[in-house]
Structure 1
Amino acid sequence: MTLPTQEILNAAYAATRAVARETPLLQSEPLTKMTGATALFVKAEGLQKAGSFKLRGAYWRLCGLSAEERQRGVVAYSSGNFAQGLALAGRELGVPVTIVMPADAPEMKRRATEGFGAKVVLSHHGDRPREEAASALAIQLAGEQGLVLLHPFDDPAIVAGQAGAALEAIAQIGAAPDVLVAPVGGGGLMGGAALALRAANPRAEIWAAEPEGYDGMGRSLAAGERVKVPGGATICDALQATMPGEAPFAACQAAGVRGLAVTDAEVARAMRTAFDELKLVLEPSGAVALAAVLAGRVPVAGKTVLVVASGSNIPFARFSELVDKTKELVA
């Protein structure tokens, strides 16, 4: 697997800045004291256009299409965040986008994807992992309709584009942090961010945070090869990949990433803390990295820490429900 070079990461970041929003880098004195860090920075990627970091990788991937491929259009599967990012990127570049979305994906994400101009096709997974069913239908549609098949995370170009979140944060801080914690579903964000930080700070500690049952990246890194995890119930609907992508895994392995898993209770508590201390609304998947830090899973005392809060695509009613149930989940 050929990893994106630093030159490619920089080129991707330069290109995506034409469409992506520079997201805020937030700090809170109480949060810093709570964790014992010297400085704790939260990169609010949930305030990106389309509500997550996904626009960065999607836009860079579409920039690499030939004129003929752009005319044909693309198809990909997604539970919602990549769907929205790709739909918006396609609209910006004039590329027709078809998204295969699990039928049980959040309705808000489906409606937003359609609102950006994409065609949404629902997949029904039954007892199968929903990622597998959606992927199979996307492959089928690509063959039947002549569409270019894109993968939501297992693509070196996606990895390179997602690195922009870390490159932007490093520039905002003015130096490379000692510790990076980012969420992982398939690993595109983690892979790109890890490569970017490793180049800027060879001694940095880099952690992949995942929901319990879906900690495929952590288990794979520990095993030295990609492994499949069992899955199960989780409130983190955007992080339900049962195996990390080949490209993200290679990037994380090369960058010396380590993995950890967090519980639903820890995620819900992080959502509440982000709202209370940062006035930031996070979906569960977007709060996983912060949950890992707040739960003490990452050694951050005396260090400069960068936490990626990756997404905010959640209906108010669901956010309120999870935050109100924080005590119940902890119990």
Structure 2
Amino acid sequence: MVALSDVLDARVRVEETARRTPLDYSHTFSDMTGAEVHLKLETLQRTGSFKIRGATNRIKTLTDDEKSAGVVTASAGNHAQGVALAATKSGVDSKIVMPENAPISKIKATRDYGATVVLHGDDYNDAQAKAHELEDAEGRTYVHAFDDEMVMAGQGTIGLEIVEDLPDLDTVVVPIGGGGLISGVATAVKEQKPEARVVGVQADGASSVATSLDKGEIHALDSVDTIADGIATRSVGQRPFDVIEEYVDEVVTVSDSEIAVAVTHLLERAKTLVEGAGAVPLAALLGGAIDYDDDEIIVPVLSGGNIDMNTLTTVIMRGLVETGRYVKIRTVLKDRPGALGDLLEIISDMRANIYGIQHDRTSRDIAMNATEVELDLETRGQDHVDELLSALREEGFDVEMLA
């Protein structure tokens, strides 16, 4: 397995390209949770994610012949950018296979960092199969996104920084996709502070690790479905799994709705843009997936900020819905003058802001003398939503929540 000495050796190579990222105490999330929360901001890393660390360490350890032949890898986006930049900085040709539905922003960034991009398949595993074909056909070295000891050691430099900056830490919370990040961080933390707790977090729609731990062997999912594309892998790697079994204390999962709420809170309260995969540690903390003591010193590793703008729009709207800041309602009115005015008067009195109104007199589900109305409303929290719905129903409106 990867050892602390490997991580220490990696730091010398990694620091030439990667940044030492801040560990930022959050008053907001400490107040919300009762813990002492320090955010590890890998969102500020070069390429926008932690992946540059492992990619740099792996490419720095290639032989001269391997460097001449070039490298190839598969990635949903962040590893792609890390390998592209690390390879370009070392004068190595790189070819990256990405899923066809990878975020456009990540595809463009990977090309801009100097790599040739090949789009193939529906997810990471499809892209990985194609990358291995190119490895064999072109004699390139495959730089695995997570199942590689040098990659794992490079990611572990995050753990070194956390322990150095916060030696009294109690718990580190880390996303899990393929397991390269958590295996490196867990090695660095546990071999220096055995009493510290390391908690892994997966998305519900890509949660293979808990089952794998129960079975004592790797369990692969048939498919994955989550907004956290950076951790949307069907299974963890074998090398990371060995470390997870040894050093990770607990693995929990969070829903896409909880991830959306965490992304929204980070934007609004911490002024920090975090992608879904990077937000899962905070989602687990805010959503109650992790048990902890009052004033426990907790470090959520916010692993990246490379979120596609179209995805961000969807995530923000879901976050606003989940926190009672946006609501869509439906009701049926008598099709007569003044009926809509009566409805809008109540909404105005309740201080809800109207985004949009849609009438439909043609629905077969309503009477001929009625009209169906849908309203998009800006509200001020779940209590406000409940008060608004109660006020409407007290006045005889049959209101249905659509979102």
**TM-score of the two chains, using structure 1 as the length reference:** 0.94
In 2, distance between residues paired with 1:62 and 1:161?
Answer: 11
The answer (yes or no) to whether the contact 2:94–2:116 under 8 Å persists in 1 is yes
Indicate the residue corresponding to 2:54 in structure 1: 57
Matched position secondary structure for 1:120: strand
Aligned equivalent of 1:32, options 30, 33, 49: 30
Q: How does 1:78-157 map to 2 (within 5 A)?
A: 78-125=75-122, 130-157=123-150
Q: Does 1:17 align with 2:15?
A: yes
The answer (yes or no) to whether the contact 2:171–2:298 under 8 Å persists in 1 is yes
Offset, 1:159: 0.7
Offset, 1:176: 4.7
Q: Does 1:319 align with 2:317?
A: no
Q: How does 1:231-242 map to 2 (within 5 A)?
A: 231-242=223-234
Structure 1 counterpart of 2:137, one-letter code: E
Offset, 1:326: 1.3
In 1, distance between residues paired with 2:274 and 2:39?
Answer: 12
Indicate the residue corresponding to 1:221 in structure 2: 213
Offset, 1:4: 1.5
- In structure 2, stretches of 5+ residues that fail to align are 324-402
In 2, distance between residues paired with 1:14 and 1:304?
Answer: 28
- Over 3 Å counting, the alpha-carbon distance change for 1:176 and 1:95 in structure 2 is farther
Residues 116-153 of structure 1, C-alpha deviations (whole Å, 9 max, x = no match) = 0000011034xxxx222211111111111111122111
Indicate the residue corresponding to 1:167 in structure 2: 160
In 1, distance between residues paired with 2:164 and 2:50?
Answer: 17
Structure 2 counterpart of 1:115, one-letter code: D
Structure 2 counterpart of 1:278, one-letter code: A
Indicate the residue corresponding to 1:328 in structure 2: 321
Structure 2 counterpart of 1:48, one-letter code: Q
In 2, distance between residues paired with 1:301 and 1:240?
Answer: 31
Residues 223-269 of structure 1, C-alpha deviations (whole Å, 9 max, x = no match) = 22211124342111111111100111111111133211100010000
Matched position secondary structure for 1:241: coil
Residues 139-198 of structure 1, C-alpha deviations (whole Å, 9 max, x = no match) = 11111111112211111111111001121122122x052111100110100000011111
* Larger relative contact order (Cα-Cα within 8 Å, sequence gap ≥ 6): 1
In 2, distance between residues paired with 1:276 and 1:72?
Answer: 46
Indicate the residue corresponding to 2:171 in structure 1: 179
Aligned equivalent of 1:41, options 38, 56, 62: 38
- In structure 1, stretches of 5+ residues that fail to align are none
Q: Does 1:72 align with 2:69?
A: yes
In 2, distance between residues paired with 1:124 and 1:196?
Answer: 35
- Over 3 Å counting, the alpha-carbon distance change for 1:294 and 1:231 in structure 2 is farther
Aligned equivalent of 1:285, options 274, 277, 282: 277
- Over 3 Å counting, the alpha-carbon distance change for 1:14 and 1:90 in structure 2 is same
In 1, distance between residues paired with 2:87 and 2:157?
Answer: 19
Q: How does 1:225-264 map to 2 (within 5 A)?
A: 225-264=217-256
Indicate the residue corresponding to 1:271 in structure 2: 263
In 2, distance between residues paired with 1:43 and 1:232?
Answer: 27
Q: How does 1:178-197 map to 2 (within 5 A)?
A: 178-197=170-189
In 2, distance between residues paired with 1:150 and 1:256?
Answer: 25
Higher share of residues assigned strand: 2
- Over 3 Å counting, the alpha-carbon distance change for 1:292 and 1:169 in structure 2 is same
Aligned residue pairs total: 323
The answer (yes or no) to whether the contact 2:78–2:306 under 8 Å persists in 1 is yes
In 2, distance between residues paired with 1:66 and 1:15?
Answer: 15
Residues 2-55 of structure 1, C-alpha deviations (whole Å, 9 max, x = no match) = x12211111102221111111121122121121111x21110101100010000
In 2, distance between residues paired with 1:265 and 1:238?
Answer: 16
Structure 2 counterpart of 1:231, one-letter code: S
Offset, 1:329: 5.0
In 2, distance between residues paired with 1:257 and 1:151?
Answer: 25
In 2, distance between residues paired with 1:73 and 1:220?
Answer: 34
Matched position secondary structure for 2:273: coil
Matched position secondary structure for 1:10: helix
In 2, distance between residues paired with 1:131 and 1:317?
Answer: 20
Structure 2 counterpart of 1:235, one-letter code: I
In 1, distance between residues paired with 2:261 and 2:248?
Answer: 28
Percent of residue pairs bearing the same amino acid type: 35
The CA RMSD measured in Å over matched residues stands at: 1.4
The answer (yes or no) to whether the contact 1:194–1:257 under 8 Å persists in 2 is no
